[in-house]
Structure 1
Amino acid sequence: MSNKIKHHLTDDLLMAYAAGGFPEAFDLMVATHLSLCDHCRARAESFEAVGGCVLQDQDESVALSDGSLAATMALIANGAPIAKPDQPGCSVLPAPLQDYVGGDVNDIQWRAIGMGVKQAILPTTREATARLLFIPAGAAVPDHSHNGMELTMVLQGAFSDEVDHFARGDVEIADEDLHHTPTADIYEDCICLAVTDAPLKFNKLMPRLFQPFLRI
């Protein structure tokens, strides 16, 4: 899978993720991409290792009381095992997304937003928004620009815009300078994960009128 991914996360995004400086929605995006991309996962692990070394160098040693190790090991030995729930099988949603949806792609609670496009807003903190988008084959999202950052990752199918062609695992990074009209390939419906830290900027009147109700 990873050798087919052309559009990766930047070092800045991976370092912010490793440092724990992202809102939950962006953490979800990075975790989802890393679950499919060996290349970015290796880079993220290297940043985490560097961060760990920095923290270790800055750490001030604190003396432990006698018997601390024995007490900790006793707690581990006597603690109840943590049961990890089985992940539902799914060929579209990676594991990080399955946890948020509570199942596979058939369990997504879609809401129509016009022209056959549907969305499902995922429960995250208010600093940023994460949503799943369903774009019918051949359909387009209304042309728009951005008030902040938008990351869009393809989970099924593919889409094209003024930048390039994006397929499963690819992430498009958009900011205030990008104006585009993402259009799904005609051969398959497209499902994407999109995260934003600010509302989109639509040029046409109808999308702007419905924007507050659709939270986009």
Structure 2
Amino acid sequence: GSLPEAFDLIVATHLSLCDTCRAEVGSYDALGGALLDTTAAAELTGSGIDRLLTGITSDRLPGDDSAAPPSADPDLPVPLAAYVGARLKDVRWRPVGMGVKQAILPTAPGATARLLFIPAGTAVPDHGHRGTELTLVLRGAFEDCGGRFARGDVELATPETDHMPIADITEDCICLAVTDAPLRFKGLLPRLVQPFLKI
């Protein structure tokens, strides 16, 4: 519950695609519940009560996808449906160059979430990072210095990471990418258009 909304979204989306991770989170939830059962009661005061009441009365809690509309697209996990609609083909893509397109998703400040469409065989411009980037593959695959990433896989990039992901030649790649700081592009043209593309 303490992650920025964009990171919460990518975690929820990955969990919807990964049975192993979902089971592991379930075991942690069960362990937390057991610990609460054996812990002495504590009195809530001040802002603690306010936060509890806000959480109880809010329409949607972080990570809760029960309010999300069902997805009519097998490539669109349910947690993303509330952000893009029922189908990926309805996404309003904006070109960013070399056939690559993006759609910035509406999330709270602190981090940015975007869908990326990378045509088969196309490379994303060489870049580094000023913060953390998580990239989750929804359709297709891409290769990078960290290996090959396919549907459900997440790549982690940090300020130490410099890379140039390339979409697999067999199929267009669609990813959910979340960043908490702007990218560091190597080329002049990507650096010039970066402020307009909000990357």
Does the residue aligned with 1:89 lie in a helix, a strand or coil? coil
| TM-score, scaled relative to structure 2 | 0.83
Determine the structure 1 residue equivalent to 2:180. 197
C-alpha RMSD over aligned residues: 1.9
| TM-score, scaled relative to structure 1 | 0.77
1:59 has 2:67 as partner: no
Q: How many residues align?
A: 177
Q: How far is the alpha carbon of 1:51 from its aligned partner?
A: 3.2
Determine the structure 1 residue equivalent to 2:12. 31
Q: In 1, distance between residues paired with 2:195 and 2:68?
A: 37
1:173 has 2:156 as partner: yes
Contact 2:128 2:183 in 1 (8 A): yes
Determine the structure 2 residue equivalent to 1:133. 116
Unaligned runs of 5+ in 1: 1-19, 63-82
* 1:54 to 1:197, Cα distance in 2 relative to 1, 3 A: farther
Q: How does 1:28-177 map onto structure 2 within 5 Å?
A: 28-56=9-37, 57-60=39-42, 87-177=70-160
Q: In 1, distance between residues paired with 2:28 and 2:158?
A: 24
Determine the structure 2 residue equivalent to 1:12. none
Which has the higher Rg, Structure 1 or Structure 2?
1
Determine the structure 2 residue equivalent to 1:6. none
Name the aligned partner's letter for residue 33 of structure 1: H
* 1:53 to 1:59, Cα distance in 2 relative to 1, 3 A: farther
Q: In 2, distance between residues paired with 1:204 and 1:131?
A: 21
Q: How far is the alpha carbon of 1:59 from its aligned partner?
A: 2.9
Identity level (%): 61
Unaligned runs of 5+ in 2: 45-65
Contact 2:68 2:82 in 1 (8 A): no
